[in-house]
Each structure stands twice: as C-alpha cells, then as structure tokens.
Amino acid sequence: MDQDLWIAVDRYLADNLISSDHRMEEALEANACAGLPAIDVAPSHGKLLHLLARVQGARRILEVGTLGGYSTIWLARALPSDGQLVTLELDPKHAAVAQANIHRAGLSSLVDIRVGPALDSLAKLHDERPAPFDFIFLDADKPNNPVYLDWALKLARPGTVIIADNVIREGEIINDRSDDARVIGTRTFLERLGSHPQLDATAIQTVSTKGYDGFAMAVVKAEA
C-alpha cells in the first residue's frame, strides 16, 4: 500500500475536479490554527457528499459530528436557500470554530449547530417533532454508531439517504477479535445496516489523503 501515491492521486483529482475554493481552504487553515485534529473528510469525499446530497434533492440534512464544519460546508452548499442543516457536536471549541467557518462561508442562515453529546441532542431534536431529514451523515464517535442509526431511522422518511464514514478502519473491520470499541461499534453498525428490514445498504473501501478507510451508504425503504 502506498500512501504517497494515494495523496498524489487525490491531489490530481482535486486539481481537476474540485474547483479551488478559498473558503474551504480557509476553514481547514482555521481548524489547524485552533488545534483541531485533521480528521475532517478528504476534499474528494466532501465533494462526493455534496454531489450525493444534490442528487438526493436534499432540503433537510442532519450531520452527527461537526468538528470544524468542513463536511458541514460541503453539505450545506448542496441545499436550496430555504433548506436546513442540523449538525451535532460534543466539543464547544470545535463548534465555535465551525460556527466561524460556516459564517465566513455565508451559510449561517442554513446551519444549526447543536452542542453536547449527540445522544442527548438527537433525543431533544426528536422531541421537537421535526420534518424528516432527507440526508443523514454519521461522523462522530464510532462506538455509538449503532444507536445513531436507530435515531437516524426515527428522524428519516422512506427514501432518506444515510451515510456513515470510517467503516473500514484500515481493514480492521474484519477482525472479529478486535477490542477496539470503534471497530466493535462499526461491526455492530454494519451488521444492523445489512439486516435491517427498512434499509438497503452497501459500503465502499476508499484510499485518500486520509489513508485506507471507507463509508457505508443506506437508503430507507418504503414501508411494506
């Protein structure tokens, strides 16, 4: 495996397919200046999320795991002017950096950042009886992904797209003896995704500037 090659190919793809955008670069620089970990999605994956949300015609997006708002900006840019994106973040410092990045990107009117443990925020959100979300992106603490999936289904409608990041974990995902809570959570998540009667799912392995990983994608089926 050749990380240098993956990085070079990702740069080539970004140069050719992802128009240079100083707001995106500014957001990543602001994250680095604030000491946030560089665990945002790769640019090519951010653009993929953006395109998938557009293909979906998403008007309402839910994101679990904001960090500095890099993926949030990609997703919010797929929304119409009356759309809404709710993003959930545990760490107030991450949320503050994200708020500033989203403001600079001119997207504050579309994005609602909620600070606190996502499990609490999801319960509160559900109590508000919101209109269903069209597109849901799970990218927070991986051990909780099976529970986030349960909440996602409560907040979804038939046709909602659910994406989860980091489901391959350098192949560790096939290690059924792993004691890593992220691997265990992801394995449970994938098993639930595959066996749930309301979901049609797949997962893709990826290599990128962020290494060897992958994402899962599911669509909520129409009620039988």
Ligand X SMILES: C[S@@+](CC[C@H](N)C(=O)[O-])C[C@H]1O[C@@H](n2cnc3c(N)ncnc32)[C@H](O)[C@@H]1O
Could you list the residues that contact ligand X (CB under 6 A)? 39-41, 65-67, 70-71, 88-91, 94, 117-118, 139-141
Give the residues across from 63 on adjacent strands: 87, 137
Q: List % helix, strand, coil for the chain (3-state, nearest 5).
A: 45, 20, 35
State the minimum distance, in angstroms, from the CB of residue 16 to ligand X. 22
Closer residue to ligand X in complex, CB, 91/198: 91
Closer residue to ligand X in complex, CB, 47/94: 94
* Cα-based angle 185, 188, 190 (whole degrees, multiple of 5): 105
State the minimum distance, in angstroms, from the CB of residue 177 to ligand X. 25
State the minimum distance, in angstroms, from the CB of residue 175 to ligand X. 21
- Closest listed residue to residue 61, CA positions, set 124, 138, 145, 143: 138
State the minimum distance, in angstroms, from the CB of residue 126 to ligand X. 15
Closer residue to ligand X in complex, CB, 13/39: 39
Q: How far apart are CA 138 and CA 147, in angstroms?
A: 11
Place of tokens 């600070």: 115
Closer residue to ligand X in complex, CB, 70/133: 70
Query: In the β-sheet with 135-138, what is the strand arrangement from edge to edge?
Result: 111-115, 84-89, 60-64, 135-138, 161-165, 211-220, 199-208
Q: How far apart are CA 217 and CA 52, in angstroms?
A: 10
State the minimum distance, in angstroms, from the CB of residue 196 to ligand X. 22
Q: How far apart are CA 66 and CA 44, in angstroms?
A: 18
State the minimum distance, in angstroms, from the CB of residue 185 to ligand X. 12
Closer residue to ligand X in complex, CB, 50/60: 50
Closer residue to ligand X in complex, CB, 117/194: 117
Tell me the chain's radius of gyration from C-alpha atoms. Answer: 17
